[in-house]
Amino acid sequence: MTDLPDLSSYDAVLFDLDGVLTPTAEVHMHAWQTMFQELFAAWGITPPYTEHDYFLHLDGKKRYDGVASLLRSRDVEVPWGEPDDDPSADTVCGIGNRKNEVFARVLRSEGIAPYPGSLALVDQLREKGVPVAVVSSSKNAEEVLAAAGIRDRFAVVMDGVVAERENLASKPAPDVFLGGARMLGADPARSAAVEDALSGAASARAAGFALVVGVDRGVGADALRAAGAHVVVDDLAAFVD
Ligand SMILES: [Mg+2]
């Protein structure tokens, strides 16, 4: 790991949130699993939901796109509905909102601590005057950042709420990383992006970032490189002096 680039040499560094700054992925995985196991049982859907479904259909995507993708894999089709559908509604949006209720309950009851190595890197970049931003597909980004106590470190948060308002396409499309760079006033060709999801690494690469850092939290270093990461680490502490 002696050949890692110096992240402070880039104009800006844009961080994914879930799985990069905070171990939210575990909370999300647990919430998705609980929700889909109940739904599959109630509707008699097979084969059963597994952890593989999470990485294949849900990880890094906008909530409703993930629901639609997973249901499609089981040949189940329901109406799309509307984002303000009640969580009891049997629509893509209603089912997505149902999962969100489970997630919010877990987050509130258990809280969340940022990864120490990620926090150390963010603080080091800030001390060196490098602008940092959050680029997340999640509509819970503000809530997660607040629960982790790190919201005030980021001038820009490009999240699922902003993306929906501005009609930006979901990762792996480049839109959200381009939008985050624009909000920060940074040129992607002189900036770095940090991602743990395949769709996210592909998004940052498609957006033309000079450096895409993959953080391997389980999806695999080779898969992250294939998706677009230039370098892959297990922990962002590797970039801290
Ligand atoms: Mg992520």
Per-residue pLDDT, 24: 87
In the reported structure, the alpha carbon of residue 19 is separated from the centroid of ligand 1 by a whole-number distance in angstroms of 5
The lowest-confidence range among 11-20, 24-33, 42-51, 116-125 is 24-33
Per-residue pLDDT, 239: 98
Choice among 16, 53, 59, 159 that is catalytic: 16
Q: What is the mean pLDDT of residues 161-187?
A: 96
In the reported structure, the alpha carbon of residue 138 is separated from the centroid of ligand 1 by a whole-number distance in angstroms of 9
In the reported structure, the alpha carbon of residue 44 is separated from the centroid of ligand 1 by a whole-number distance in angstroms of 31
Choice among 18, 53, 59, 85 that is catalytic: 18
Given a cut of 60, whether residue 1 has pLDDT beyond it is no
Full-model pTM? 0.80
Q: Which residues pair with 232 in a beta bridge?
A: 214
Quick: pLDDT tens for 210-222: 999 999 999 999 9
The lowest-confidence range among 27-36, 141-150, 200-209 is 27-36
Q: 12 and 186 in contact (C-beta within 8 Å)? A: yes
Per-residue pLDDT, 2: 56
Quick: pLDDT tens for 86-142: 999 999 999 999 998 988 887 887 789 999 999 999 999 999 999 999 999 988 899
H or E segment and range at residue 211: strand 211-215
Q: What is the token pair recorded at 168?
A: 């930006």
- For residues 116-145, one letter each, b for 16 or more C-beta atoms within 10 angstroms of the residue's C-beta and e for the rest, the string is ebbbbbbebbeeeebbbbbbbbbbbbbbbb
Please provide the average confidence, as pLDDT, over all residues in the chain. Answer: 94
In the reported structure, the alpha carbon of residue 239 is separated from the centroid of ligand 1 by a whole-number distance in angstroms of 18
SS3 (DSSP) at 159: coil
Q: What is the mean pLDDT of residues 165-170?
A: 94
In the reported structure, the alpha carbon of residue 197 is separated from the centroid of ligand 1 by a whole-number distance in angstroms of 5
Catalytic (active site) residue 3: no
Given a cut of 70, whether residue 5 has pLDDT beyond it is yes
The structure tokens 């992250």 sit at 224
Query: Strands 231-233, 13-15: parallel, antiparallel or unpaired by DSSP?
Result: unpaired
Catalytic (active site) residue 90: no
